[in-house]
Chains A and B, each alone.
Chain A
């Protein structure tokens, strides 16, 4: 496979099948050097399988992949020197301390002692874990474990980092620390490929690939993706009685669908500015209390749903 482009990761027609299911279905995308790319999709979309193939841990059935300009299929072991992989299930040894875990991975990557100590000190300080060096990894909180996992993954200087759902279940404060570390890595020229099932987390990435049942629906920056959904078509109504509100406006001209949330409803309409006064009037006459009615910016989740339902064409 030619490595003429400067992509940090190049995936072409990747296929992986398991009995009864095609986990990855002719996947093709690029990750540019120095960017954070998010593979986004629900469970079963093919994120973990893709990452495993790129990490050289699982062979694909067809297609090709280049990471750090090395062919993963032909020479997976060479690639491993230049990448770090943080799988969803921990690679941490719960019966080893933070310090011992770091040392183990440093040794596997051939990092010399001085460099290891310097990097470890820096990374641990950035995650607020400096005082926990001697603690057993099993006794750390979920957020701390993730940060330790990231530290171990970064103890050598990889060119590409592969993260599989690193912030699932992690508390928001630790999640922020985590992303702060990731962003600071970009300054060192590292490329990051991360996967997530949370569409809102995808907004933190530079570019995003929406995966659904092994196929790529779209691949672009979050801003560009949201533009595909016309901006004037979602109206949000904040109300203490969403059901009543929905019942009141159902069937109105131009109202295409309603999504109930806890203290609001989102209506899909044809023309927001035109319909808002009509909706307001209807709610008032129906006696439904509401606090606010305004245009709402569509989210990536709205786009995802629209693409899967075929209302917006998938475009890669």
Chain B
């Protein structure tokens, strides 16, 4: 039962609520020590999937093995072997740091002989060794987040679930947090992250893009940007911007165009072919043209490209 103890295996997992399909046959496998990201907008089915993987919700069909246990048949075992950090930290704001740690250690039944040791370790990881008596509610966001992480791992679970872990947190704290996560991954913990924030997804080793309950892409961030982006991305500086946008939207070879700050991001079939052609077009209209150069697509560009294709191939515009 435990030879895959540090991995998560999901086979055609699905969840239906009445006639609404929240999760539509998702399959994936994570390796030990991998940081795996679940990326998608709110309402796409990420939280439902996570709840199933945590043993909190029964799947409608398919199966999932987490930390070596079947989520449908042994949800209790699953819960004992995972750590979970939720978006709103689920810490008790009126308790002191040390009291929160004791509380969660109790919930996860950390054995008494290692309790003191684990608490110290968690305090150190969170950087709160000098302030165990601080009131949790008075800590700034970044500290709370690291404390929440500490509370979730005192029982040394092989799998860790993070739900929107760094939303709203300042960039420095976010970087420190991810340093910790990388440490844990190096020690063999499998980390499962859900986020709607595309930039955060870059921290993951591999990503699954979830949209409308389906997994629409799977791969490393670079793979996704290379393979799943239909077309290439050009940065176009032109003035006036509104007129330039209008001109380019209907130009041949242009798949999509949008304003981005004081320039345009234009998706074209071929950057090499389109760059000079578009410049000519804009010149001909009497617009002042600055840079026209290829840029790398971001994960957001990939996501928009994938989901627009999904929608037009599938059910059409969403509500």
Residues in chain A within 8 A of chain B (CB atoms)? 20, 41-45, 128, 132, 135, 140-144, 168-174, 176, 179-180, 183-184, 186-187, 197-200, 203-206, 212, 221-222, 238, 240, 242-243, 259-264, 291, 301, 304-305, 308-309
The 12 listed contacts between A and B (C-beta, < 8 Å) are A132-B319, A135-B319, A171-B44, A172-B304, A173-B307, A187-B242, A197-B167, A200-B298, A212-B170, A243-B182, A262-B220, A305-B172
| 35-90 of chain B: CB within 8 A of chain A | 35, 37, 40-44
* Bound CA span A242–B33, Å: 13
* Bound CA span A203–B171, Å: 16
Q: How many A-B residue pairs have CB under 8 A?
A: 128
- Indicate whether B161 reaches chain A with its CB closer than 8 angstroms: no
In this complex, the member of A170, A186, A197 whose beta carbon has the largest number of chain B beta carbons within 10 angstroms is A197
* Bound CA span A198–B179, Å: 20
- Report chain A residues within 8 Å CB of B167: 168, 197
Partner of A198 from B197, B205, B241 at Cβ < 8 Å? B197
Please, what's the 1-or-0 string for B161-172, where 1 marks a CB less than 8 Å from any CB in chain A? 000000111111
- Report chain B residues within 8 Å CB of A197: 167-168
Given contact pairs A172-B303, A173-B308, A204-B261, A262 touches B35 in the complex (Cβ within 8 A): yes
- Is the Cβ of B319 less than 8 Å from the Cβ of A141? yes
* Bound CA span A240–B178, Å: 17
- Indicate whether B186 reaches chain A with its CB closer than 8 angstroms: yes
- Report chain B residues within 8 Å CB of A168: 167
- Report chain B residues within 8 Å CB of A179: 258-259
* Bound CA span A186–B240, Å: 12
- Report chain A residues within 8 Å CB of B44: 171
- Report chain A residues within 8 Å CB of B259: 179-180, 183, 204
- Indicate whether B198 reaches chain A with its CB closer than 8 angstroms: yes
- Indicate whether B98 reaches chain A with its CB closer than 8 angstroms: no
In this complex, the member of A206, A260, A263 whose beta carbon has the largest number of chain B beta carbons within 10 angstroms is A263
* Bound CA span A216–B303, Å: 33
* Bound CA span A263–B203, Å: 7
- Indicate whether B94 reaches chain A with its CB closer than 8 angstroms: no
- Is the Cβ of A308 less than 8 Å from the Cβ of B170? yes
- Is the Cβ of B43 less than 8 Å from the Cβ of A173? no
- Is the Cβ of B307 less than 8 Å from the Cβ of A262? no
- Is the Cβ of B262 less than 8 Å from the Cβ of A221? yes
Quote the shortest CB–CB distance from B168 to chain A (angstroms): 4
- Indicate whether B115 reaches chain A with its CB closer than 8 angstroms: no
- Is the Cβ of A261 less than 8 Å from the Cβ of B202? yes
- Is the Cβ of B179 less than 8 Å from the Cβ of A301? no
- Indicate whether B157 reaches chain A with its CB closer than 8 angstroms: no
Quote the shortest CB–CB distance from A143 to chain B (angstroms): 7
